[in-house]
Amino acid sequence: MTAFLIDEMFPVAAPALLRDSYGHDAVHVAEAGLRAAEDADVAAAARAEGRVVVTENVADFSAERDVVLVFVLKKNLPAGGAMAAGLAKILDNWARDYPDPYLGPHWLATCAAARLPRGT
Domain membership of residue 116 (yes or no) is no
Domain membership of residue 118 (yes or no) is no
In which domain, by residue range, is 59 found?
A: 3-108
Following DSSP, what letter does each residue of 93-117 receive, concatenated?
HHHHH-SSPPSEEEEE--TTTTT--
**Residue 104 half-sphere exposure, CB side, CA atoms within 13 Å?**
2
Domain membership of residue 64 (yes or no) is yes
108 in Cβ contact with 71 (< 8 Å): yes
Domain membership of residue 52 (yes or no) is yes
Higher-confidence position of 49 and 81: 49
At 79 the pLDDT is 87
At 62 the pLDDT is 83
Domain membership of residue 114 (yes or no) is no
Domain membership of residue 113 (yes or no) is no
Total of domains in the chain: 1
* Alpha helices for 1-120 (secondary structure H): 13-22, 39-49, 58-61, 83-97
Taking only the tens place, the pLDDT of each residue in 51-103 is 999 999 999 998 898 999 999 999 989 988 899 999 999 999 999 999 999 99
At 100 the pLDDT is 94
Domain membership of residue 119 (yes or no) is no
Q: What is the pTM of this model?
A: 0.89
Taking only the tens place, the pLDDT of each residue in 12-44 is 999 999 999 999 999 999 999 999 999 999 999
Domain membership of residue 53 (yes or no) is yes
CA distance 37 to 49: 16
